[in-house]
Amino acid sequence: MKFLYLLFALVFLLFQAAPGSADPLHADTAACKSVGNFCRLGACPPTFSASGTCHSGMMNCCSK
């Protein structure tokens, strides 16, 4: 029965997510967010303008 603790620990380590694996960071996304802008799918809100792209050109980088 003591092997169940080892088995649980092994399963826990196998299914643990790697840091950063959920959101791959693209170069244009990093450049957009580094200056305080944000990414948005579709058009930017009325008081913002599109200053570039995010996620390899699939989204707009919106700036004030």
Taking only the tens of pLDDT, the chain with its 64 residues reads 677 888 888 777 777 755 555 555 788 888 898 899 999 999 999 999 999 999 888 899 999 8
Number of domains in the chain: 1
Decide if 33 is inside a domain: yes
Decide if 37 is inside a domain: yes
**CATH number of domain containing 32:** 3.10.360
Q: Give the span between the Cα atoms of 41 and 22, in whole angstroms.
A: 18
Decide if 36 is inside a domain: yes
Looking at residue 3, its pLDDT comes to 74
Decide if 53 is inside a domain: yes
Decide if 47 is inside a domain: yes
Residue 51 domain boundaries: 26-63
Looking at residue 61, its pLDDT comes to 94
pTM strictly above 0.85? no
Looking at residue 19, its pLDDT comes to 56
Decide if 1 is inside a domain: no
Looking at residue 49, its pLDDT comes to 94
